[in-house]
Amino acid sequence: MSHETIFTKIIRREIPAEIIYETERVLAFKDISPQAPTHILIIPKLAIRNLSDAQPSERDLLGDLLLAAAEVAKRGGLAESGYRVVINNEVGAGQTVFHLHLHLLGGRALGWPPG
Ligand code: AMP
């Protein structure tokens, strides 16, 4: 089911964002509060609340998101140095914007396990 978030407004260009990659179905833009030298959000233009809400019919779109993350990482020179892709699912995992998004993080050493 469709619902409005700040990301819907970014998709519609109603609020500014530093968009760095776009396809028919996917948008990628810089996180407003970066947690690493590279911190980019990759989102579907279709409003899906989170990963738990994703449907089997959205399989291709979910694949698009991962491939977009890999492409953005490659373009940003991170493919060799390494990067991390994170999905926070629900409040307990730190989700604050309820529109499915991948965090692409890189440009510094990334500890494991994450906090
Ligand atoms: P999460 O906590 O996993 O839901 O991630 C939401 C992310 O969206 C956070 O890292 C925020 O810094 C980021 N964010 C919130 N508002 C904006 C915005 N207007 N433009 C870019 N990033 C945003």
- Separation of CA 107 and ligand 1 centre (Å): 19
12: its two tokens:
């519609």
CA angle 100, 6, 23 (to 5 degrees): 60
Q: Report the alpha-carbon distance of residue 83 to residue 76 in Å, rounded.
A: 10
Active site residues: 101
Write down the pLDDT at residue 37.
98
| CA 87 – ligand 1 centroid, Å | 12
What are the residue ranges in the chain where pLDDT is below 70?
1-2
pLDDT score recorded for residue 2: 59
Q: Which atom of ligand 1 is nearest to the CA of 35?
A: 10
Nearest by Cα to 65 from 39, 86, 36, 79: 86
Which residue has a Cα nearest atom 18 of ligand 1?
Answer: 32
Q: 77 CA distance to ligand 1 centroid (A)? A: 23
Q: How far apart are CA 106 and CA 35, in angstroms?
A: 9
- What confidence score (pLDDT) does residue 1 get? 47
pTM value surpassing 0.75: yes
Residue 3: predicted pLDDT: 79
| Residue located nearest, by CA, to atom 20 of ligand 1 | 32
What letter does residue 6 receive in the DSSP assignment? H
Residue 104 to residue 106: CA distance in whole angstroms: 7
